[in-house]
Structure 1
Amino acid sequence: MRKFLLALLGLGGIALAAFLIFGPAWFDKQTNMVDGKPLPEIRAEAQELHDSLMIVDLHGDTLLWKRKITDSVDYGHIDLERLEAGNVGLQIFSSVTKTPKGQNYDSNSADTDNITALAITQLQPVRTWFSLLERQLYHAQKLDKAVAASGGRLASISQPAHLDRLDKSIGVLFSAEGLQTLEGDRANLKKLYGAGMRMAGLVHFFDNELAGSMHGIEKGGLTDFGRTIVRDMEQMGMIVDIAHSSHATVADILKMAKRPVVSSHGGVQAVCGVNRNLTDAEIRGVAATGGIIGLGYWDGAMCDTDPATVARAVKHVRDLVGIEYVALGSDFDGAVTTRFDTSGIVHITQALMDAGFSEAETRAVMGLNALRVIRAGLVPLSAPGAPAKAGDQPDRDDRTTDAG
């Protein structure tokens, strides 16, 4: 019996080891997929234009998974080789630190968390297992290590002058999907800034101490702590991202914003009536700050994965407020299924051409709009000559919006 029990324990240890080695990659493959549906052949003129573009993607979640950006793999959506194949000039990598069990777009409690189990099975440092702040700082270190290991093919972007490197390297910028990582401490924002964070959404799939989420229980607006953090972000040169925010939070941020505001990834309700997508009033509000709306490629943003639908969303924003307020926000590696990975972004270029967009409009959407806003947003508000949006003024109680 003793030998039998020892054998069982041995088999259990082997099974556990196999799970820890192969399980994270298996889960990644089942979570970040390409649907394999037909795509049109890329025409020579579309490829030629695409190869000349500066392309910026406002949102990718690759740091969440147990793979290195510098590793070439045959699953997921983003790695260095595929960024180069897609002619991406700047990729923003967001840090996901907590997601609720049974995650959905309608209503989620903050009481559960899937990422703790993921951190443990990925054998991340123990400090990340039970601290959201440490989890986010670990993601910052992963990004720094990828840059160091890239042999100059990647370059960290944390100040406007760094954007001048993009003709030699692919820029990477660190962002956050929810600032629950502050753990209620204002001082932790400076720690994240020191780790390279230059963009952050206040919430993810649940309400937190800063604000209400579109997918939370209460879906309220900014708290006093949230208002303080928005002011701090603008002051230090960290771009405010309204993705996943409740309508009330979006309205509160747009009312107080002194800098361009970004919606890093999502869609528009006029094309896809999912609750997380922006209303026309919210689109107008973002444009009024001089900001941009990053459009994603997955079903939850577009109600399908056809690149032509992304072009429809671009057209809606252009016709409503102007072409200068549209950008790309793929949500690649964000537990989504898309029609193509980052090597295939040329399909968006061709879809814009097919929809009748001019070369100048296509260049703006694919990256130049985002580059403009990022360059402005990285300058601390107190810096001499700091750019600000048109009509910059203190919290604008006189501004009206029907958002929310």
Structure 2
Amino acid sequence: MKKILIALLALFLLYVIAISTIPSYIENERNPVKSSGPYRVSDEAQAFYDSLDFIADLHCDALLWGRDLTERGDRGHVDFPRMREANVAFEMFTIVSKSPSGQNMQQNSAETFDNITPLTIVKGESPFNWFSLINRTLSQSSDLNDFISKDGRTIFIQSKADLQKLITLRAEDKNTIGAMLGIEGAHALEGDLLNIDRVFEAGVRMIGPTHFFDNELGGSAHGESGDGLTEFGKAAVRRMNDLGIFVDLAHSSPAIADDVLAISTQPVIVSHTGVRAVLDSQRNLSDEQIKKIAEKGGIIGVAFFDMAVGEPELPNIIASIKHIRDLVGIEYVALGSDYDGSVAVPFDITGLPLIVEGLLKEGFTKTEIRAVMGENVKEFFLKNLR
């Protein structure tokens, strides 16, 4: 019995050590920043950046890694203090609940070993989360709510009234910031429509039908089938429309995108993407898709990482924004970084002035730059949030 107790104690100590060291190591490996701050731009670009009323980003996976987002981190890309340092008003925090081993842009199986399971365990999460996608999802939702409560100056954006409150408070104090909640991949619903209501009650206002593999809703852009929406997927989209949850077409197969655009009664979001005209990848939007999304009144967030825009990233981010503007209009384009999304990025959130400088050099007007940096996101949600 004594040997068993010693062995159990040793295992417990090893688990405590793992909790305190492994998640940070994994995040450092998975979310590098290619160029560390502080980031320098021209006086003109910095002054204009500082004058922006509303800077917004449509995609960040920071909730996955177990960091306290109320504290300024020395790893990763986003937290509340860095949002304030960067004058960012609004961030869409997205929940990742499953990621296939060997994840790639071409083809992934839902049956592949899940990378998030061991991360969930070594983060010290409840055993109820270890093998349940919906529990992981609700847990990350709860984490964001806890961070917001602890911070005291962050608004949890769940309604138009919440967004209007954020806008009003920021007019007096730019340290007031807003956070919205999304889900990356509706496999998190575990095939149960009732879970859409559960995540809505938890604050979720955006869901992507698929992530890197096919699921109960249909095919992923990186899956095996290329299928459109299943009957369950169509029912899920209708329920999302009923509740006021936006459909995010990032990572969806072209067939799903067509199906969603055909049946959705609400505009769609593409939270983080590139365009095929800049980088020809199955990850990215074709001109035809961009036109259909714009016709539906949607909004497109341009991602920051090389597999979406190519290298070097910054000029290709600018080129992607320019292509969407020239194709359908400036009002349909936004920032969709994919910060903390297991990607290497050229700069963290404090480097956003570099985008303003790049847009100025490319001849964008200040009105256009304001639109891209956040006004489009603000107007989209003021129009479509309930």
TM category, shorter: over 0.9
Structure 1: which amino acid aligns with 2:269?
V
Mapping 1:213-232, distance limit 5 Å: 213-232=220-239
Q: Which moved more, 1:249-258 or 1:184-193?
A: 249-258
Counterpart contact for 2:37–2:347, Cα < 8 Å: no
Structure 1: which amino acid aligns with 2:156?
S
Q: Partner residue of 1:72?
A: 72
Counterpart contact for 1:287–1:321, Cα < 8 Å: yes
Deviation of the 1:16 alpha carbon: 4.3
* Structure 2 residue 277 is matched with structure 1 residue 270: yes
Q: Partner residue of 1:386?
A: none
Counterpart contact for 1:297–1:305, Cα < 8 Å: no
CA distance in 2, matches of 1:228, 1:11: 50
CA deviation string 1:222-256 (max 9, x = no partner): 01111111111112111110000001111111122
CA distance in 1, matches of 2:274, 2:290: 10
Gaps of 5+ in 1: 380-404
CA distance in 2, matches of 1:84, 1:341: 13
**Structure with the larger helix share:** 2
Mapping 1:188-207, distance limit 5 Å: 188-207=195-214
* Structure 2 residue 236 is matched with structure 1 residue 235: no
Q: Partner residue of 2:144?
A: 143
Q: Partner residue of 1:24?
A: 23
Deviation of the 1:175 alpha carbon: 0.3
* Structure 2 residue 332 is matched with structure 1 residue 332: no
CA distance in 2, matches of 1:140, 1:6: 37
The SS at the match of 2:89 is strand
- TM-score normalised by length of structure 1: 0.89
Counterpart contact for 2:37–2:351, Cα < 8 Å: no
Counterpart contact for 1:305–1:338, Cα < 8 Å: no
Aligned length: 376
Structure 2: which amino acid aligns with 1:108?
N
Mapping 1:210-359, distance limit 5 Å: 210-359=217-366
CA distance in 2, matches of 1:343, 1:85: 7
CA deviation string 1:349-384 (max 9, x = no partner): 1111111000000011111111122223322xxxxx
CA distance in 2, matches of 1:249, 1:306: 28
Mapping 1:50-69, distance limit 5 Å: 50-53=49-52, 54-69=54-69
Q: Partner residue of 1:115?
A: 116
CA distance in 2, matches of 1:89, 1:171: 6
Deviation of the 1:306 alpha carbon: 2.9
Structure 2: which amino acid aligns with 1:73?
G
- TM-score normalised by length of structure 2: 0.93
CA distance in 2, matches of 1:6, 1:95: 38
CA distance in 2, matches of 1:261, 1:348: 25
CA deviation string 1:205-234 (max 9, x = no partner): 100001210011112100111111111111
Q: Which moved more, 1:158-167 or 1:361-370?
A: 158-167
Over the residues paired in the alignment, what is the CA RMSD in angstroms? 2.0
